[in-house]
Amino acid sequence: MGTSLIAGAAGFIGSHLSERLLADGERVIGVDNFVTGDRRNIAHLAANPAWRFVEADVTRPIVEDLGRVDAIYHLASPASPVVYLAKPFETLYAGSDATRLLLERAERDGARFLVASTSEVYGDPLVHPQPESYWGHVNPVGPRSVYDEAKRFGETLTMAFHRYKGVQTHIARIFNTYGPRMSLNDGRIIPAFCGAVLRGEPIPVFGDGLQTRSYCYVDDLVDGLVRLQRSDLREPCNLGNPHELTVLALASIVRKLAGSEVAIVHHPLPEDDPRQRRPVIDRARAELGWELKVSFEEGLPRTFAWFRTHRT
């Protein structure tokens, strides 16, 4: 089925995508510089003859000869607020320089190109739920803008390469995703809550906890990415779970799952934190035949069990 290059292959989603493509019979070249990726996420792939790993920073030209590739997945970017606020320039360059260089490689090789964008392009939305036609409500100079605007620029650059250079491009707008191999310390809500109960600490809830989020299990998200890359869809495509929960409801579910009575402690809401976040996935259903297969009731216990045995 050809060769795929995955930028950000040692990350949470990238490592699962690598497994999926290898299982599909593809050759996979994984690239990562471990700014946020973890070598442990891909260590088990080393024995697979169809797997090749190159340690490199995709915001700069890759020196090593990778040969021609048939598809490129650009997942190389910090993705959690804790990390992208601590690494603002790495985040901005991942959305700009890395996107340009990978698109240029796709143009040279005649390869398909998929950029992992985000629901953050919608900002703190004034439209709920969010369809791809919504242009968003984003603060371009706020603290979160290093991530939001990097992703928005990456989408713009991707569409320009499609419109003016004929590159076969795809834009995945990824909503909250969870599953094994998430870092307990990356600040995202599910690992933050699970980590707290595992340590016997209060669950940290920002604001009143009535803000909503939706959560997609990583296997479903990866299936959506693969379907999108192999499709003819050029417009942005939401990938996420259309069922939403309040933050307080999630805290209660995690406490019950852990059999814990730890307290819930409220903290001030961060600047520009969105109040609502839920995707309209009609486009993914119609164009990709994509549906979620793993329910939250099934996926969260799997994820919690992984955290219980991988606390570091």
- Which positions are catalytic? 147
Task: Give dist(CA 134, CA 212) in Å, integer.
Answer: 18
Give SS3 for 266.
strand
Do 225 and 172 meet the contact criterion of CB atoms below 8 Å apart?
yes
Output DSSP code: residue 269.
P
Do 22 and 46 meet the contact criterion of CB atoms below 8 Å apart?
no
| Contacts by 164-169, CB closer than 8 A, 24 or more apart | 165/107, 167/103, 167/106, 167/107, 167/113, 168/106, 168/111, 168/112, 168/113, 169/103, 169/106, 169/112, 169/113, 169/114, 169/115, 169/234
The residue written with tokens 């795929």 in the block is 4
CA distance between the termini of the chain: 36
From 248, 301, 240, 290, select the one nearest 117 (Cα to Cα). Answer: 240
Task: Give dist(CA 136, CA 120) in Å, integer.
Answer: 9
Paired with 171 in beta bridges are 115
Task: Give dist(CA 250, CA 296) in Å, integer.
Answer: 11
Task: Give dist(CA 113, CA 70) in Å, integer.
Answer: 9
